[in-house]
Amino acid sequence: MLALDNLTKTFHIHTLGNKVIEALRGISLEVAPGEFLGLSGPSGAGKSTILKCIYRTYLPTAGDIWYESRDCGRINLATTANRTVLGLRSRELGYVSQFFHVIPRVSALEVVAEPLVTRNGILPSVARRKAAELLQRLQIPPSLMDAYPATFSGGEQQRVNIAKAVIWKPRLLLLDEPTASLDLQATAVVMEILRELKKEGTTMIGIFHRQDMVRQITDRLYEIGGQQL
Amino acid sequence: MEITPEKILEVQDLTKIYGPGCPLCLAATGPDYDTNQCPHCGSVVACGQVSLELYPDEILGIVGESGSGKSTLVKLLFFDEEATSGAMHFRGKKFLSQNQAELPPDLSERVNGENLLTLSSFQKRRIKNALMGMVYQYPHLGLRLEVSAGGNIAERLITAAWRHVGNMRQRATHLFEKTEIPVQRLDESPENFSGGMQQRVQIAKALSNNPMFLFLDEVSTGLDLSVQARVLDLLRTLQREFHLSMVAVSHDLGVIRLLTARTMVMKDGRIVESGLTDQILEDPQHPYTQLLVNSQL
């Protein structure tokens, strides 16, 4: 489904006198359809960088990212046109970021319902109902659903962020510390939702800050800066 | 569904030079020389060989500092200014029905494959009236402030060949509802309106002819933050509802982040970098873009 071949990412920071920071060097890994791969390694090893390169938030410096797309066949995410990446993002590729970029003046319910309307073509009223169900499951009280997520706590924002990414059932889902600021109970719900998603065929790559969680949910671990376990 | 949709507007090497111009203008200006003024003839290259593509249903961002040429670019696209050279092709004929936009039959024949920049100013005006809308930074550029708000809409509708007063009033009422303007203020002149409401009247006017393209020039600059958020939110909603392809010019990266999926960065009249908006913001490549991103509050 996904194969990274010699992925390398270097940052050239011109504002710091053309300082060069090597974030990734020669990463090669493969993910099979339906597999859940965990990324592990010390902080700063480049775990998030890998996910951002796949999502093309970062432009890879060298190497290939081969993805078997449902709609357009085998495609190199490292070099393909921006428009193609946007098309894939809206139909196949999901991403849960570490930090939630809040859109002002849009309620939590609308944030979560929107992808169902724009990506899956579901009626707004139905989408809102489904979004409410999912948020309720993630323990966001109904009284908060019409409020703006900018006013939420870190944990609540993160749950809205997860809801918005899983509700439209992407084909490949990238997870960057989705449970970092959640309590045990909320974490358990998220794990359950991810397990269901996996059962429905979503392929996933995830970074989790807790080792016990990684073992619970992933099929395999890729250690950055070490060997594959 | 196609993964890479067809473009609806294609612009190549769009150039605008203010001044006499000389053969060295393009070679002697740009970000590499840190100037847009030609050292040989003193002309200003406001836009130098800018190429871009616009796709259905997307918002393209143009970001850059004052004087980078971004406003000139959008004015060239809207035929407000005449280009010195370059080409602009309309490719969106088959998307017309999706926008409920209409091109007069004779024009529809002509724009197929023809460089729009070479058409007469009369034909350009007809294309503008049929397909385009613009929202300016300053309401007085887009509105006649002393004429009633409804009159402003009617004026635009008349240019798009509307004739029935009752229909025009109905259309204005509808647009006011869509842009969250109290309908009872239809007969008041925008002079008395707040800045945010003036912008919304401009947006209503720009949408009155069911355009395919909406150009935004610093649309929320100078508005209070709360009003700005409301205008941007409105534009996001309208974009989806009316299937608009938009070009949003702003110096504010926050506005660009909120509105756009793709962004082009301009400096000294040139595009120095273009990419996905999140990539531009998180992994900027060009030194100028890095400076811009690092200067964000």
Full DSSP string of chain A: -EEEEEEEEEEEEGGGTSEEEEEEEEEEEEE-TT-EEEEE-STTSSHHHHHHHHHTSS--SEEEEEEEETTTEEEETTTS-HHHHHHHHHHTEEEE-SS--PPTT--HHHHHHHHHHHTT---HHHHHHHHHHHHHHTT--HHHHTS-GGGS-HHHHHHHHHHHHHTT--SEEEEESTTTT--HHHHHHHHHHHHHHHHTT-EEEEE-S-HHHHHHH-SEEEETTS---
- Chain A and chain B share a number of CB contacts under 8 A equal to 67
B294–A83 C-beta distance less than 8 A = no
Min mean pLDDT across A26-35, A76-85, B70-79, B111-120 is at B111-120
Please report which confidence band the pLDDT of residue A227 belongs to, taking 50, 70 and 90 as the band edges.
Answer: very low
Would you say B273 and A49 are in contact if contact means Cβ atoms under 8 Å apart?
Answer: no
Mean pLDDT comparison of A37-51, A55-69, B133-147, highest-scoring range: A55-69
**Contacts with B5 from chain A: Cβ below 8 Å:** 83, 87
Write the pLDDT tens digit of every residue in B159-173. Answer: 888 889 999 999 999
A15–B291 C-beta distance less than 8 A = yes
DSSP state, residue B7: P
Q: Which residue of A has its CA nearest to B56?
A: A83
User: Is residue B257 pLDDT above 60, yes or no?
Assistant: yes
What is the distance in angstroms between the Cα of A83 and the nearest Cα belonging to chain B?
A: 6
DSSP state, residue B235: H
pLDDT attached to residue B3: 52
Interface of A with B in 105-144 (CB under 8 A): 105-106, 118
User: Is residue B97 pLDDT above 80, yes or no?
Assistant: no
pLDDT attached to residue B264: 98
Residue with tokens 């053309």: A18
User: Is residue A229 pLDDT above 80, yes or no?
Assistant: no
Mean pLDDT on A118-147: 93
Full DSSP string of B100-156: T----HHHHHHTBTS-GGGS-HHHHHHHHHHHEEEE-SSHHHHS-TTS-HHHHHHHH
Q: Which residues pair with B60 in a beta bridge?
A: B247, B262
Please report which confidence band the pLDDT of residue B241 belongs to, taking 50, 70 and 90 as the band edges.
Answer: confident
DSSP state, residue B37: B
Q: Which residues pair with B17 in a beta bridge?
A: B45
Please report which confidence band the pLDDT of residue B4 belongs to, taking 50, 70 and 90 as the band edges.
Answer: low
pLDDT attached to residue A228: 41
Q: Which of A11, A13, A103 sits opposite B258 (nearest CB)?
A: A103
User: Is residue B245 pLDDT above 70, yes or no?
Assistant: yes
Distance between CA atoms of residues A15 and B294, nearest Å:
8
Please report which confidence band the pLDDT of residue B110 belongs to, taking 50, 70 and 90 as the band edges.
Answer: confident
pLDDT attached to residue B98: 76
Mean pLDDT on A159-164: 94
Write the pLDDT tens digit of every residue in A31-49. Answer: 999 999 999 988 889 999 9
Residues of B with CB under 8 A from a CB of A: 1-5, 55, 58, 229-230, 232-233, 240, 257-258, 261-262, 274-276, 278-279, 282-283, 285-287, 290-291, 294
A82 touches chain B (CB under 8 A): yes
Would you say B85 and B21 are in contact if contact means Cβ atoms under 8 Å apart?
Answer: no
User: Is residue B182 pLDDT above 50, yes or no?
Assistant: yes
Q: Which of A71, A101, A103 sits opposite B3 (nearest CB)?
A: A71
Would you say B127 and B133 are in contact if contact means Cβ atoms under 8 Å apart?
Answer: no
Query: Could you give the 3-state DSSP secondary structure of residue B97?
Result: helix
Distance between CA atoms of residues B273 and B290, nearest Å:
11
**Contacts with A84 from chain B: Cβ below 8 Å:** 3-4
Query: Could you give the 3-state DSSP secondary structure of residue B175?
Result: helix
A101–B282 C-beta distance less than 8 A = no
Min mean pLDDT across A170-179, A209-218, B23-32, B179-188 is at A209-218
Would you say B29 and B268 are in contact if contact means Cβ atoms under 8 Å apart?
Answer: yes
pLDDT attached to residue B2: 46
pLDDT attached to residue B1: 40
**Taking Cα atoms as reference points, which of A167, A168, A165 lies closest to residue A205?**
A165
HSE (CB half, 13 Å, CA atoms) of B35?
12
Please report which confidence band the pLDDT of residue B5 belongs to, taking 50, 70 and 90 as the band edges.
Answer: low
A14–B290 C-beta distance less than 8 A = yes
User: Is residue B75 pLDDT above 90, yes or no?
Assistant: yes
Which ipTM score applies to this complex?
0.91
What is the distance in angstroms between the Cα of B3 and the nearest Cα belonging to chain A?
A: 5
A72–B233 C-beta distance less than 8 A = no
Would you say A90 and A119 are in contact if contact means Cβ atoms under 8 Å apart?
Answer: yes
User: Is residue B41 pLDDT above 90, yes or no?
Assistant: yes
Please report which confidence band the pLDDT of residue B135 belongs to, taking 50, 70 and 90 as the band edges.
Answer: very high
pLDDT attached to residue B229: 84
Distance between CA atoms of residues A153 and A182, nearest Å:
10
